[in-house]
Each structure stands twice: as C-alpha cells, then as structure tokens.
A = this chain, B = another copy of it.
Amino acid sequence: MPTEKGADRGECVLDDRKLAVLRAIVEDYVSTNEPVGSKALVDRHNLDVSPATIRNDMAVLEEQGYIVQPHTSAGRIPTDKGYRLFVDRLSAIRPFSSAERRAIETFLAGAYDLDDVVMRTVRLLAQLTRQVAVVQYPSLSKSAIRHVELVPLTETRLLLVLITDTGRVEQRVVELPASYDEDSVTQLRAVLNACLDGRQLPDVASIVAELPERVEPRERANAAAVFSVILETLVARHDEKIVVGGASNLTAADFSRGLREVLEALEEQVVLMRLLGELDDQAVVTVKIGAENDVFGLRSTSVVAAGYGSADRPLAKLGVVGPTRMDYPTAMGAVRAVARYTGQILAES
C-alpha cells in the first residue's frame, strides 16, 4: 500500500482527481476573482463526481496547504503553494497563435533605436498580459564596446560617449585637470578605439589599466581623467537600467491597500534589479509567486520573467508583475514570445 506509506509525508499523495480539482480551483479563481466552492466546480468543469466528493478532496488540499478559505463558509482560494504546484505540474505555457506572433513581430519591428525597442517591448508586454511590464536594458556586462567618442565641450571638459554593440549609448562629462589641444584628443580617441573596440565590457577594466603607457607622458594627467570616468561608467549602479510600464493595470486587480507598496517598489530601480537578479538563468520562463519574492512590497505579487537575447548570449531580462491571482499560462506565453522577438530584433541591429 504505497499510499498509506506516503501518508505521513503529507506530500505527493495527491491522486489525479485532487490535482484536477486544484487546477480547476486555480483556473476558476483566476477568471472570477471569487472563492470557488464545491458546487460551482462540479458543474463548470465536468468532473463526474458529486460535490461532496470534491469537498473531501478540498479538505485534503487545504490540510496540505494548497488552498485556504478566506472565512468559514466561503469557497477556497489557492495559496502560494497551490499556485506553485499549478505552475510546475498542472499547466503548460500557452503558445501564441501565429496571428498573435505576427502582430508582436510587426509591432516590434517598427522600432528604430534601442530606447524605442525597449519602450515598445514594455508597452507590448503590458498590453498583452494586462499586467505591469518590466524590461531591463541590455546589460552592460554582456555588451562589447563598438565605439568610443570624445567630444570637446569647453577648455577643460570633454564629453565621453561609449557606444555598445547592443545599442546602448552611455555619456559622461569628463573634467580634465588641464586644458588640452585638438591633437591630443584625436590621439587619445584613436588609442581608445584601437584598444577597446570590440572588447567585452568586463574585460575593459584590465585593458584600461594598461593604457596610460601608450599615451605620451605629458598627456597622462588628462588621459587618466578620461580613463577613470570610463571605469566609473562601467561599474556605476547606473549600470543597469530598467523601464516599467502599464502601471494602470494594477488598479484592475484590486490590491486594495497593498497598491501603494507595489507602486513604490516598482519605482525603485534597485528593488527591481534585485527582483530580476534572483531569477533562474537557465529556465525559459521563470515564475516567482507571492512570498517567494523576498522583496518588500511585492510579497503579494507574482513575477513572470525570462531572459532575452540570442540563445548563446543572454542580454538581460524582462517580465511582468501582477497579483498572484494571475493567468500564468498566458503570461508565460506572452513573456516567452516577447522575449524571443525582442532578442531577435536586437540581434539584428
């Protein structure tokens, strides 16, 4: 009797029907936003057993922590643990129809620079999922330098512009200790481009460290200022940039009073970075449910996210944030599809 043996473990002993019940509860609750009772279940899904049977199953599911009732004599709603099981074993990513895919593709294809790609992506994702969308700019640490430019501003000031192969353009003002002449700037620019062009950003630090040798001694002070700004730019917290969109979707799913916390969390780039940073890099789409996000203010939300970029070269992450009561299959489908196409678009340019 394997069932009895497993009984004290308390897990994994859910038979097929109980799983079906859980799935049904999740689906119904997600679509109606109301606790679902045994009666409603049997006739909406065609489980051919009586409500009483379902009730027994539900009692077990509740005992094991997959569902709860908000108050006695109400239906059940899934717990974080219940959603987790649902996502892991009871559902599949909803694939998008070819029409939808084409729509996504054409919408993104119209973009003409990196900012535009990111903006369109965030809008698209928010619209497809009716949730808040979060898109990270291609990570600097995954990019290579494509060009370095120095633009004279004043006697002792240069504008340093770093262009990466992912289309990011970083700019910084450099204050020089001394004035410079045209030639020295031209020379420095040439050195920089010669040495840095095509290099991965994480490698740049060590390369820059050796550059001073290649500059004429009397120019070293100025050059050093430029070099240090380059290094700063690469390590700055400014490093990773995140865009959020679709915040108005939060009002639909009534967070009642948690809304403030959620909005605040979404405005903190740092918090979002941590959120995305915790994701599994391997999986196609990762889902974090409720309290699994140990980020204050987002404990009552779920995050569905994926990395984007070509397969061999993940660039950054994007995803959606919404109530735990979320249509996971669709959200996962949307995130996966958008990640794919965004990655594709960026790979082309």
Chain A residues with a Cβ under 8 A of chain B: 112-114, 116, 146-147, 149, 151, 153, 157, 159, 161, 163, 167, 169-173, 238, 245-248, 250-252, 259-260, 263-264, 267, 349
A349 to B156, CA, bound (A): 11
The answer to whether A159 and B151 touch across the interface, beta carbons within 8 angstroms, is: no
The answer to whether A173 and B349 touch across the interface, beta carbons within 8 angstroms, is: yes
The answer to whether A263 and B247 touch across the interface, beta carbons within 8 angstroms, is: yes
Q: 7 A-B pairs, CB-CB below 8 angstroms?
A: A116-B238, A161-B163, A163-B171, A169-B169, A247-B267, A248-B267, A250-B263
Min Cβ gap A25→B in Å is 29
Cross-interface CB contact of A112 among B153, B172, B259, cutoff 8 Å: B172
A80 to B320, CA, bound (A): 39
Min Cβ gap A119→B in Å is 9
Answer whether A163 and B159 are a contact pair too, CB < 8 Å, given A147-B151, A248-B263, A263-B248: yes
Min Cβ gap A116→B in Å is 7
Question: Across the interface, which residues of B come within 8 angstroms of A264, CB to CB?
Answer: 248
Cross-interface CB contact of A114 among B167, B171, B248, cutoff 8 Å: B171
Closest to A193 in B: B151
Closest to A146 in B: B151
The answer to whether B167 and A169 touch across the interface, beta carbons within 8 angstroms, is: no
The answer to whether A246 and B259 touch across the interface, beta carbons within 8 angstroms, is: no
A114 to B170, CA, bound (A): 10
Q: What would 5 more interface pairs be, CB under 8 Å, given A149-B161, A248-B264?
A: A146-B151, A147-B159, A149-B149, A248-B267, A250-B263
A170 to B169, CA, bound (A): 9
Min Cβ gap A216→B in Å is 24
Closest to A159 in B: B163
Question: Across the interface, which residues of B come within 8 angstroms of A238, CB to CB?
Answer: 116
Cross-interface CB contact of A171 among B113, B153, B157, B247, cutoff 8 Å: B113
A168 to B260, CA, bound (A): 33
Question: Across the interface, which residues of B come within 8 angstroms of A116, CB to CB?
Answer: 238
A159 to B149, CA, bound (A): 13
Residue in A114, A238, A251, A267 whose Cβ sees the most chain B Cβ within 10 Å: A251
Question: Across the interface, which residues of B come within 8 angstroms of A251, CB to CB?
Answer: 259-260, 263
Question: Across the interface, which residues of B come within 8 angstroms of A151, CB to CB?
Answer: 146-147, 163
Min Cβ gap A245→B in Å is 7
Closest to A160 in B: B113
Question: Across the interface, which residues of B come within 8 angstroms of A163, CB to CB?
Answer: 151, 159, 161, 171
A153 to B147, CA, bound (A): 10
Cross-interface CB contact of A153 among B170, B246, B349, cutoff 8 Å: B349
